[in-house]
Amino acid sequence: MQNYELLIERIVKSAGLEKEEVERKVEAKKAKLSGLISKEGAAQIIAAELGISFENQDLKISELMGGMKSVNVVGKVINLFPVREYSKNGREGKVANFVIADETGNTRVVLWDTNHILLIENGTIKQDDVVEIKNGSTRDSEIHLSGFSELKKSDVVMEDIKTERMISEKTLGEVQQGQSVKIRGIVVQVFQPRFYSVCPNCNKKAIQEGELYKCAEHGVVTPKDRAILNFVLDDGTETIRVVMFSDQINTLIPEEDLKDAEKATALRDDLMGTEIYLSGIVKKNQLFENLEIVASSVEKIDVEKLIEKLNEKD
C-alpha cells in the first residue's frame, strides 16, 4: 500500500485537507465505481478532480504518470544501455537510455541532449550511480530529457531499491502503451477464435504460396495451426481489447479444441461475464491505432483468495 500512502500524503499536502477527508473521498469514489477501481486509481481521480498537479515537485518513481511536463526524480541507474546513433529525415543524432530505480519502482530514462549523452560517453554517469533529474517530461511510462532538463550525478545513497520490472494493478483508464499491467475486470465480449499457420520448427508465421507453406528460415514446411482469441475486458473505467495467443489459451482450453465449434462456444459462454485478473503488456494496435493488451496470463478470480489478499493489505 506504499504508493497509495504516498498519493494520499501528497493530496493532503497540496489540497490542505485532512487525511480522513481525503480517504473518505477515495472510498466514495471507489464505491461509486462499484469497487472495480483500485484505491490508488481512485486517489488519482480525486487528485485530478481537486486540480492537484504533480508537476515541478520531487516525485517518487511510482508517482509518475504519462504526460507530465516538469518532473524531478532521484534514482539509481540499474541498467545502462549503449548510446545509439540514428538518422531521421536526413538528420543524424544520438540517443541514450538507462533505467533508474528508487524504493517505489523503476522507469526508463531517454536522453536526447548531446550534453547529457556526453555524461554517459565519458563515463561520468555509470551503472549503479545515483542520478538527479530535474525538469524531465514523461511520455508513456518513460522520462524524456531535453536540452531544458538537468541531469547530474547525486551524492544520495540508495540501497533499498525496487529492481524487478514493475507490474502494477491499474485501471484501464490509466494504462499506457508499453506498460506491464495487471487488471481486474469482467469479460464483456468474446470473439470467434481465429487460426493462422506457423512453421512447426520455429513457430514463426508460415507464408502460403500456392499449395505450399514456406518458413523464411526452414523452407517448405507442413504448417501447424495456432489460435488467436480476442475478447473485450471492462473494469468499470474503460473497456479494452485483449489478445490471447496459444500459450495463454492453452491454460484455459487445449487450443485444438477451439476448432470444435461446440467446445469453442462452451469456452466463450464460460468466459462471458466472468471476472478475471489479466496480466499483460499494453500495445498499440497498428491497424486501429487504439491500445490493446497482449495477455501474458488470464486468471479467473477466486473470490476466497481475493478476500484473503484484501485482508492481508489492511
Instruction: Please report, as ranges, the residues that interact with Zn ion according to CB under 5 A.
Output: 199, 201-202, 215, 217-218
* Span between the terminal Cα atoms of the chain, in Å: 9
**What single string gives the DSSP state of each residue in 94-108?**
EEEEEEEE-SS-EEE
Q: Which residue's CB is nearer to Zn ion, number 179 or number 246?
A: 246
Q: Which residue's CB is nearer to Zn ion, number 94 or number 205?
A: 205
DSSP character at residue 274? -
Residue in 145, 153, 221, 228 with CA at minimum distance from that of residue 194 = 228
Q: Which residue's CB is nearer to Zn ion, number 216 or number 266?
A: 216
Q: Which residue's CB is nearer to Zn ion, number 54 or number 213?
A: 213
Identify residue 164 by its one-letter amino acid code.
E
Q: Which residue's CB is nearer to Zn ion, number 13 or number 218?
A: 218
Residue 109, classified by CB atoms within 10 Å of its CB into exposed (0-12), middle (13-18) or buried (19+), is buried
- Is 97 within 8 Å of 108 (Cβ atoms)? yes
Contacts of 306 (CB under 8 A, 6+ apart): none
Q: Which residue's CB is nearer to Zn ion, number 247 or number 269?
A: 247
CB-based closest residue to Zn ion: 199
Residue ranges of E strands in 59-217: 71-80, 84-88, 91-101, 106-111, 130-139, 142-145, 150-153, 168-169, 180-190, 194-198, 207-209, 212-215
CA dihedral 196, 200, 201, 202 (to 10 degrees): 20
Residue 219 C-beta: closest distance to Zn ion, Å: 8
Residue 247 C-beta: closest distance to Zn ion, Å: 18
Q: Which residue's CB is nearer to Zn ion, number 127 or number 203?
A: 203
Question: How far, in Å, CA of 216 to CA of 218, rounded?
Answer: 6
- For 184, the grid coordinates are 481486474
- Is 246 within 8 Å of 196 (Cβ atoms)? no
Q: Which residue's CB is nearer to Zn ion, number 181 or number 199?
A: 199
Residue 218 C-beta: closest distance to Zn ion, Å: 4
Q: Which residues pair with 280 in a beta bridge?
A: 181, 295
Residue in 185, 187, 161 with CA at minimum distance from that of residue 173 = 185
Question: How far, in Å, CA of 135 to CA of 95, rounded?
Answer: 18
Question: How far, in Å, CA of 135 to CA of 299, rounded?
Answer: 40
Residue 221 C-beta: closest distance to Zn ion, Å: 6
Q: Which residue's CB is nearer to Zn ion, number 126 or number 204?
A: 204
**What single string gives the DSSP state of each residue in 215-229?**
ETTTEEE--EEEEEE
